[in-house]
């Protein structure tokens, strides 16, 4: 009895260390002492396993969760946790087997369906992953995550119509879902529907003004429709948030050069030159930048 009390005491000490962000070594030592006094204390194995998993110490994490599986063979969460570790180790067959076991123990668990689908996706089993994501959607139609994961899968396989339908399903349920808005905007860009894309990127920025990806994509979309002033403003917004993005400096330089050459103008030659000089100071070997600077110098405009 005394050993179990000591085990519980050390376990609670480990939890306390964990909650206040104490040094990782102290937290691990407390959980290990807890297990020393009670080698059947599954909570200690679970917490210790997640600490190892967070540190990408997959071998130790796997041993912890394997202990939990041995102690609680009817617990689907134990198999899910073991599957996470096997995914991190790129042992996808083992992960799949762990998720299958979890699914057999709890056939209606949406989390397990998603885990199973993800590992099938990682294995390149497109049809199997689609089947699992759809199974999760049928199980919980209002759950956004399965729809979003399925949309991303379709997106990755260039199944544009299917991806748009699933992103729409996400946005119908959560109109402010930033990733769905951003991904849908990118799909519209690929389909040549830049006006639709611009609306969505602007909506993301309205919801999250410092979203670098949305500002960058907005700049590219405006550039595609030859609205160089708006494109420049969007790229400048990106650089105000992260001034060292070389590819954005290049995009802005190209946009300013196009604006300089256009009938609407609004940009001085020297402004384009300064942008290119800065770009080439970041990376003197940027071939696109050197070529554009050459074109600028050779242009007839004063």
Each residue of 166-201: pLDDT tens digit? Answer: 999 999 999 999 999 999 999 999 999 999 999 999
Tokens at 104, concatenated: 């057999």
Q: Give the contacts of 299 (CB within 8 A, at least 6 positions apart).
A: 261, 269
Specify the pTM.
0.86
C-alpha to C-alpha distance for 113 and 264, rounded to whole angstroms: 55
pLDDT in tens, the chain (302 residues): 588 899 999 999 999 998 887 688 999 999 999 999 999 999 999 999 999 999 999 999 999 999 999 999 999 999 999 999 999 999 999 999 999 999 999 999 999 999 999 999 999 999 999 999 999 999 999 999 999 999 999 999 999 999 999 999 999 999 999 999 999 999 999 999 999 999 999 999 999 999 999 999 999 999 999 999 999 999 999 999 999 899 999 999 999 999 988 867 788 889 999 999 999 998 999 999 999 999 988 875 54
Nearest-10 crossing angle of helices 287-298, 269-282: 160
Residue 144 is predicted with a pLDDT of: 97
Is there a contact between 296 and 273 (Cβ–Cβ < 8 Å)? yes
Is there a contact between 76 and 102 (Cβ–Cβ < 8 Å)? yes
Return the residue matching tokens 């209002």: 142
Is there a contact between 215 and 178 (Cβ–Cβ < 8 Å)? no
Measuring CA to CA, which residue among 267, 264, 263 is closest to residue 235?
Answer: 267
Tokens at 301, concatenated: 């405009």
Angle at 183 between CA 177 and CA 185, to 5 degrees: 100
Q: Give the contacts of 119 (CB within 8 A, at least 6 positions apart).
A: 83, 87, 92, 95, 96, 99
Q: Is 64 exposed, middle or buried (0-12, 13-18, 19+ CB in 10 A)?
A: buried
């Amino acid at each position: 009895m005394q050993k179990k009390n000591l085990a519980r005491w050390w376990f609670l000490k480990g939890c306390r260390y964990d909650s206040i962000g104490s040094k990782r070594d102290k937290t691990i030592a407390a959980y290990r002492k807890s297990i020393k006094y009670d080698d059947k204390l599954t909570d200690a194995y679970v917490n210790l396993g997640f600490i190892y998993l967070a540190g990408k110490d997959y071998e130790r994490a796997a041993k912890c969760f394997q202990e939990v599986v041995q102690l609680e063979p009817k617990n689907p969460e134990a198999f899910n946790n073991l599957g996470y570790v096997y995914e991190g180790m790129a042992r996808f067959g083992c992960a799949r087997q762990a998720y299958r076991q979890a699914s057999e123990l709890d056939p209606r668990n949406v989390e397990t369906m998603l885990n199973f689908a993800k590992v099938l996706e990682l294995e390149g089993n497109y049809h199997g992953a689609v089947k699992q994501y759809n199974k999760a959607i049928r199980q919980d139609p209002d759950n956004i995550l399965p729809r979003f994961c399925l949309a991303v899968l379709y997106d990755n396989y260039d199944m544009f119509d299917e991806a748009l339908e699933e992103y729409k399903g996400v946005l119908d349920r959560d109109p402010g879902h930033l990733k769905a808005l951003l991904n849908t905007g990118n799909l519209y860009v690929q389909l040549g529907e830049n006006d639709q894309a611009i609306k969505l990127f602007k909506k993301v920025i309205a919801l999250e003004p410092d979203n670098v990806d949305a500002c960058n994509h907005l700049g590219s979309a405006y550039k595609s429709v030859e609205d160089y002033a708006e494109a420049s403003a969007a790229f400048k917004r990106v650089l105000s948030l992260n001034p060292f993005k070389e590819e954005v400096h290049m995009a802005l330089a190209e946009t300013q050069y196009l604006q300089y050459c256009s009938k609407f103008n609004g940009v001085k030659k020297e402004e384009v030159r300064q942008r290119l000089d800065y770009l080439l100071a970041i990376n003197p070997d940027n071939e696109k930048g050197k070529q554009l600077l050459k074109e600028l110098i050779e242009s007839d405009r004063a």
